[in-house]
Homo-oligomer: A and B are copies of this chain.
Amino acid sequence: MPHGTTPDMKPASELTWRSRYDGVRGRSLALADPLSDEDCGAQSMADASPVKWHLAHTTWFFETFILERMEARFQPFQPAFRILFNSYYNGIGERYPRAKRGLLTRPSMDDVRAYRANVDARIGRLLADQAGNRQLASLIELGLQHEQQHQELILTDVLHLLAQNALFPAYSDDTPLPAHSVAAQAWVAFAGGLAEIGHDGEGFCFDNELPRHRHYLAPFALAERLVTNGEYLSFIEAGGYRDPALWLSEGWDQVNLLGLTQPLYWQRDDTGNWCEFTLHGVQGLDRARAVTGVSLFEADAFARWSGARLPTEAEWEVAACSDACGEEGSQERRLRQMFGHCWQWTSSSYAPYPGYASAPGALGEYNSKFMLNQYVLRGSSIATPPGHARASYRNFFPAGARWQFTGIRLARQ
């Protein structure tokens, strides 16, 4: 759930804004509670970032895009942070190399906490002084949405870090895990036809969800629920990782280069039983739980082996906006587990919608430039903050990415 974003107007009272701001910002710090300062500083691979860096970068975002623009006599909290915590905005200037973020032992976590407190206080004053400023509201909403994206990354990056440690420490037992599915797989059919997809204009959205536009769909069906660990294990036991006919060519190369034989966090214990490393530590593999930690390549191979395919993002969105979605416990034939369990790979390459336009300036710089060789995921995961998900949301990662909470929903014609 990387980057993305342009604002949308958001009028509300100062108190409402302050409360929402404090809620989201406080949640980020709370995510670091189970971690030591040492945990927060380490970076397990170039694709992941240290927790400390996430906490500082999201603060840099408010400082750079709000305080610097709207404070009367702006002074940066620490000039060097302007470079250290810039992520990829070429328009904003120099950046510190991404792969070296784990080497920034200074500033310390305490310094970063002080940075957050300083920026929070100044944002508080702006909100008090300029209640009703629609641009301020828009930028704060954008900053909070951006921070929520990084909250998800904090959890996925921490899980990846802890998985590198031979001690396999647990993050916390309080975080949710993907839910169980006990029902047999079933299908929900859709008639297709000319549909509209994209955000419909109410509430916040990122610019990649716009403009809403028409799209023609042939009839299709989606699986009621996510693919389970148990189903995926059957694929493994049937030799799925050894049959090139099931794999996209680039996926087969990855399987062989990395010697892949299972999802990222699966392992076997000393007696050969399947386990999974989770935020709760190592657990016996729960066959009824939705499979996660799979790449698009693995999702696609599983689908082909199942005689099915992955949905397109348009199919997924049309289905999610239909009346076919149901509650977990319901008995009806309904799409379940669309949100809150794991992101669901689609077969859609991440591309601008027809008529898409980047926002001008640095805030818009970076969205469309990632629209190549990445694939869209839909839904949301156990790590997605409450209220952050919606049917038009477009998450995206390269086809080989495995360290997110990524899973599989099947489709067929």
Contact = CB atoms under 8 A, between A and B. Distances in A.
Interface of A: 36-42, 44, 80, 83-84, 88, 90-91, 96, 100, 102-109, 161, 164-167, 169, 194, 213-218, 244-245, 247-252, 296, 347-349, 351, 354-355, 365-366, 369-373, 399, 413
B372 A248 contact: yes
**A36, A213, A351, A369: residue with the most chain B Cβ atoms closer than 10 Å:** A369
Contact of A38 (B91, B105, B372): B105
Contact of A166 (B38, B83, B88, B296): B83
A4 to B, nearest CB: 14
Copies of this protein in the assembly total 4
Contacts of A164: 100, 103
A80 B166 contact: yes
17 contacts: A36-B105, A36-B106, A38-B38, A38-B40, A41-B42, A42-B103, A88-B249, A103-B161, A105-B161, A194-B194, A214-B216, A245-B365, A248-B372, A250-B372, A349-B351, A373-B373, A373-B399
Given A38-B38, A105-B38, A194-B216, A369 B169 contact: no
A258 B248 CA distance: 27
Given A38-B40, A104-B165, A107-B167, 20 more contacts: A36-B37, A37-B38, A38-B106, A39-B106, A42-B102, A42-B103, A42-B105, A80-B166, A80-B167, A84-B167, A90-B244, A100-B164, A102-B102, A214-B216, A245-B365, A247-B369, A248-B369, A249-B372, A250-B373, A349-B349
A109 B42 CA distance: 14
B249 A370 contact: yes
Contacts of A88: 249
Q: Which 5 A-B pairs have the closest CB atoms?
A: A349-B349, A38-B105, A39-B105, A216-B216, A103-B164
